[in-house]
Structure 1
C-alpha cells in the first residue's frame, strides 16, 4: 500500500469518526477542491488548514451518523497519488432526511500528509437531503 492510499483510507476512516486523529493527516497548506459544491452555495476550494477544519466541522455537525462504505481505493504509479470511489450515508440534522452519496476522491500526499484533495459528489442528492436549492437552477412550481 502506498503512502497516498494509506492516507486516503485513514481519511475515510477518521474524517467523521475520529476528527482529532484525522487532523494529524492534513498538511498546513492543504487544498481541498470541491468542484460541485458551489451549486449548493458552498466554496469551490478550501485553502489552508483552518478553512478545511471549519468545513469538516460543519459537515460533521450537519450530517448525523455519517459513514463511508464500499470504498474502492486505487493506487497510481506515483506513491503520492491515490483515488477512491466510495459511498457515504447519514442523516441531515436540520431536515431529518437521509443523505446518500457516491464520492470520487483524488488525494495527493507530501511528506506523509495530505496536501490536496479533489472531491466529486452529486450536488442534487445533497440538495434534496438538505432541502436546499441548487444554485443556478430555477425552482418550478407544478
Structure 2
C-alpha cells in the first residue's frame, strides 16, 4: 500500500462501506490502531490493535442487517496537524427485510501515521439507526 493521506484513508473507508464490506481493512490500519466510539455500548467504546479492530468491524458488519447506500453532506475539515482530519457526513442505509430507510449523522476524527489509520474516534447518531432497526 502506498503512502495514503487521511483523506485517502477516509475515502477508502467510504468505498469499503458502500461495497458491503467492513469499513476498515487490515491494510489501512496501523498495527497499534485505536478506534473509539464514545456513544457505543460500554464494551465497544474502545478497541485497540489492528487484529481486534478488524475482528470488531467484521462482526459489526455481519450483525448489521443494512445496505449502506450513500454518504451525503460530506465535509472534510483540515486541522493544524496534517495527519488529522475531521469528517462530518450523513450515511443513508436501507434495511432489506423491511425496506425501511434511515439516515444518520456522523463525525469522525481520523489520525493517520505512515499512511495508515492510527486513531479513529467516531460520534454517530445511534438513535436514527436504532429506530430503523426496531
TM-score, length of structure 2 as denominator length: 0.78
Aligned partner of 2:102 in structure 1 is 99
Q: SS of the residue aligned with 1:36?
A: coil
SS in 1 for 2:38: coil
Max radius of gyration: which structure? Answer: 1
Which residue matches 2:55?
54
Name stretches of at least 5 consecutive residues in structure 1 with no aligned partner: 132-142
Structure 2 residue 123 is matched with structure 1 residue 116: no
RMSD: 2.6
Contact 2:23/2:57, CA 8 A, preserved across alignment = no
Write the distance in 2 (CA, Å) between the matches of 1:83 and 1:22: 17
Q: Number of residue pairs matched?
A: 128
Moved over 6 A (4+): none
1:68-79 map, 5 Å: 68-79=71-82
Gaps of 5+ in 2: none
- TM-score using structure 1 length: 0.75
Mapping of 1:20-99 within 5 angstroms?
22-23=24-25, 24-38=27-41, 43-61=44-62, 62-66=64-68, 67-92=70-95, 97-99=100-102
Q: How does 1:125-136 map to 2 (within 5 A)?
A: 125-131=128-134
Distance 2:107 2:97 in 1: 25
Residue 134 of structure 1 aligns with which residue? none
Contact map agreement 1:74 1:82 (CA 8 A) in 2: yes
